[in-house]
Structure 1
Amino acid sequence: MAQVFFHCSNDDEFLIDRRGTSVLDLTEARDHAARVVHTLISTEGGEDWRDWVLHISDDLGEEIFTMPFSSMLGRMH
């Protein structure tokens, strides 16, 4: 089991996950990342999340992978 952190950023902001989440493997980390993105884009408030990226890092601060929010939202028309 590993502690993984899910930080979010765009060109203007960086939101830090200070608690992290315990995951068994990369598949579980990817699934949790998708849930984080889905939760944020589903919140009310009118934020355009298309330019945001979720950065998934290990407990040493090394980035494991990224997930652009646009991968779940698609492109603006």
Structure 2
Amino acid sequence: MKRRGRLRAGYYADVVVFDPATIANHATFEQPHQYATGVSHVIVNGALVLKDGEHNSATPGRVLRGPGWRGVTPR
């Protein structure tokens, strides 16, 4: 992948800023879309999407699917 793997101007970068003393996952099978605590900032492709723990509804990323992806099977 070109322009990845470094924090450099013009490169794509995903960065998560977190506190290792307070980070915790709260997702369950019943409620899988819960935010983790202890995460203060998230940058996706150079765009700030989580600031001070609040999501700003930005969606700068895209899904990359590998050869093993099978999609969602309807129930």
Q: What's the TM-score, normalizing by structure 1?
A: 0.25
Higher strand share: 1
Higher relative contact order (CA 8 A, sep 6+): 1
Higher helix share: 1
